[in-house]
Amino acid sequence: MTENIGVLGKKSPRRSGVERVVNAPLPTVYGKFQAIGYLDHDRGDEQVALVYGDIGSDRVLTRLHSECLTGDAFGSQHCECGDQLAAALRAVVTEGSGIVVYLRGHEGRGIGLLAKLRAMALQAEGLDTVEANLALGLPVDARDYGVAAGILSDLGVRSVRLMSNNPRKRESLVRHGIEVAETVPLLIEPCENNITYLRTKRERLDHVLPHLDAVAHWS
């Protein structure tokens, strides 16, 4: 292994945690954000927080959004991720301030893009999203939100109103020192292509999705 050698042949100390690297204006169809780029020294991932308005430090409307190429970029109806991202961006603009932390390295609940596609192929054969991951010998959910907590801390945030239906996300933030003052539901109208996936998230992953009861007639 190559060692990190600094000036005069001395080892440079290995950096850890999250480092703010750049801040750039990002005009979007939703509004004008500040895109604040971070480097996660522990995992090597590049991360970004989209900040809108004067966020303050308490009860900041916040979304931690796990990277989802198929949903966010391609409009996949297998999940609700793309619609949730758009809804979160609209919500912080309507609020007048807020943060959307876009978490790279979270593809497929942390298993990666190719593994996610393999899991989707198994789901097409009849497995649910939990069974598919396990059939591949992969964790059901490998995501960690420590870097998100680090980003929020760097932004001066002490407590958030968290846009999420996932209680584990709330628990993880609290464990990493960020108070969750309120959980704000982020419910997207389901479609026939994702209803089974969403039901599995509710029944096996404890997501709070009460709106699914209205489409109980779908097979």
Contact at 8 Å (CB) between 53 and 91?
Answer: no
Q: Helix, strand or coil for residue 33?
A: strand
Distance separating alpha carbons of residues 68 and 58, to the nearest angstrom: 28
Residue carrying the six token digits 């945690």: 17
Annotation marks residue 15 as catalytic: no
Write down the catalytic residue from 143, 161, 170, 199: 143
Length of the chain equals 219
Active site includes 141?
Answer: yes
Q: Which residues contact 2 (CB under 8 A, 6 or more apart)?
A: none
Give the separation between CA 115 and CA 97, rounded to whole angstroms.
36
Q: Which of 141, 144, 154, 202 is catalytic?
A: 141
User: 118, 136 in Cβ contact below 8 A?
Assistant: yes
- Active-site residue numbers? 141, 143
